Amino acid sequence: MGEEQSAAPAPAVVVAMKGHPGSGKSTAARAIAAALRCPLLDKDDVRDCTLPLEGLAAAGMLNELSYAVLWRVAERQVRLGLSVVVDCPLSRRAHLDALTRLPAALVVIVECRPNDEQEWRRRLQERGAAVADGSGADGWHKPKTWGELERLVEAYQGCTDYEIGDVPRIVVDTTDPMVDAEAIAVKVVGFVRSHLACSQ
């Protein structure tokens, strides 16, 4: 049997997406996960599956259940030594705390801030139209109009702007026509690698 040397496994990284609905998080998250060749864990995938329970549970309970499942799956992947991209709004400090408690070498935040409000509105309207005509059944629980988004943000009562401590964060404009999702992914991968290098 020949001697085989296996390279040391890369440390697990949690890339946490942050941003309001329709801000381009999911598109960027898919590109980042593909670039890092790691699992993409989307809170909406869990939430979408709870539709049959919608009339049976108290308001907010299914949303909290979706987060609980997301954290558990993320923990399992990280304990296996896998990096993950977590796609959720990260709207509350408790959500970030759940991720920073994972046994990962590094947690980074990718904050999606669409600077072009008109493009952001267009995306929401497009999604709302897809849900209305049945071609986009997933996402039934997300805001579908600008008014719904404004009411959601108002209900957050400013809790989305919280202190992140020493968690590295990169802010990206997901509506910049000169920067597509793949370019954002390249930027994020470089950001992750630079922080990993500094931590070693």
- The pLDDT score that the predictor gives to residue 154 is 84
- The pLDDT score that the predictor gives to residue 1 is 42
| Average confidence (pLDDT) over 37-50 | 92
Q: Which of 35, 15, 13 is nearest to 183 (CA)?
A: 35
User: What b/e readout covers 11-45, taking b as 16+ CB neighbours within 10 angstroms?
Assistant: ebbbbbbbbbbbbbbbbbbbbbbebbebbbbbbbe
């558990």: which residue's tokens? 72
Residue 129 CB contacts under 8 Å (≥ 6 apart), including other chains: none
Higher-pLDDT residue of 193, 197: 193
At residue 181, what are phi and psi to the nearest 5 degrees? Answer: -60, -35
Higher-pLDDT residue of 6, 12: 12
Residue 93 CB contacts under 8 Å (≥ 6 apart), including other chains: 159, 162, 163
CATH 3.40.50.300 fits 22-199, yes or no: yes
The answer to whether residues 139 and 131 touch, using CB atoms and an 8 Å cutoff, is yes
